[in-house]
Amino acid sequence: MADMTSEAVADSGFPEIDARRFRNVLGQFCTGITVITTFDDAHTPVGFACQSFAALSLDPPLVLFCPTKQSRTWAAIEHAGRFCVNVLAEEQQQLCARFGSREPDKFAGTAWHATEFDLPRIDEALAAIECTVSEVIDGGDHNIVIGRVLALSETTESGRPLLFYRGQYTAIEPEKTVPAPWRADLDHFLTTTTLDTWL
């Protein structure tokens, strides 16, 4: 286990955590990358690259993501009340960089189409999850947005995810894509969870 070091305690009673160190330590956690999209008031597609996305609940089907409070795309999503989560493939690094930039028209040159629920879905993404905004919770300098799932794309056996680790893109090694030995146990847990079950 890594050594745990404490910081000086601030006036609030909580330890003072250095922002750069916080980023470096949290960068040890490898994440997938998504692009969260919606239409703005002018029915123009907007979106932003987002690492802070996760599945939340099976019953009801919920997901979450965490935009900065200053995000213009989040403002559009909040107003629209719905969004699409596009899970990026490893070949979509340039697309990810574009949606993580301040480009005014991030969809320029991007292949996409409108879904049945009238949300922008990026072509060639590994998966798409369409949601309505269910709840918004304060999360410091971010919001925690909980979405109720409306529709899911078909699953595919081909394609590999775009990953982010230690401040740079990475990918799964071909020989590493084998089921973990505990996968059956995890699948069983996820499909048989009861109110008195906990991890």
The verdict on pTM exceeding 0.75 is yes
In the prediction, which pLDDT does 15 show? 87
* Cβ–Cβ < 8 Å for 160, 172: yes
Confidence of residue 40 (pLDDT cuts 50, 70, 90): very high
Mean pLDDT of the region 7-23: 75
Amino acid at the residue 163: L
CA dihedral over 15, 18, 23, 25, signed as positive or negative:
negative
In the prediction, which pLDDT does 103 show? 85
**Residue 31: pLDDT over 60:** yes
In the prediction, which pLDDT does 45 show? 97
